[in-house]
Amino acid sequence: MLKILLLLTVFGMMGVNLTAFGAILAGLAVGVGAALNGTLGNFAGGVMMLLFKPFKLGDLIEAQCFVGNVKEQGIFNTFLLTPENKTVILSNGALSTGTIVNYTTHGNLRVDISMAIDPGVSIDHARKVAIDAMNSIPEVLSSPAPEVSVLYTGGSMTTLAIRPYCARQDYWTIFFGTQEIVKNAFDAHGVAAHIPHRVIINK
């Protein structure tokens, strides 16, 4: 920069019109600034996250519509490994200004599952069967205890919210396993599932 300023000064002393050079330099400065805008934003975002640490390596987070474990945190990008074994590269600029859900902070997670049953089935009976089935799964925590609540009634069905708690590393095991075990328990204890039907009227 000093050499360029020196040359421009010499040219000016020689009577060369520097207006064109000034316009070129201004245009270059604007172009470089625009090109580096996203990079500088990512750098600033990376610095902010390293300072405030909203998550650490290995944490399970949800950000920018992606869910995965943090595998690498760079100064410009953060790398996630999704449950599908895909690597997602997130820009730190958008990540630092967006919403981040950290599933690892408290050590255990609640698994949210909804299952529809026939409206003629006793809710108390279905709740007892579902809770007993969840308590039979070794990975389901006893504290907090699993919950079964009525999520929705109507449309010729009753929808139950089935919510076991588990350690973070057991989340997907419980998510899929609970549905299978509760469904089998419902079948064994006469808790009929909702069967959709449609009435067709011929005119």
- Using only C-alpha atoms, the chain has a radius of gyration, in whole angstroms, of 30
Determine the Cα–Cα distance for residues 105 and 145; give it in Å rounded to an integer.
Answer: 19
pTM: 0.62
Give the closest residue to 196 by CA, choosing from 159, 161, 166: 159
CB 200 within 8 A of CB 145: no
The structure tokens 């410009």 sit at 76
Per-residue pLDDT of the chain (203 residues; tens, 9 = 90+): 788 778 777 777 777 666 666 666 666 665 655 554 567 778 888 888 888 888 888 888 999 899 999 999 888 899 999 988 999 999 888 888 889 999 888 878 899 999 999 988 999 999 999 999 999 999 999 999 999 999 988 777 899 999 999 998 888 899 999 999 999 999 999 998 877 666 677 66
CB 46 within 8 A of CB 76: yes
Domains and CATH numbers, the chain: 51-102 (2.30.30.60), 108-188 (3.30.70.100)
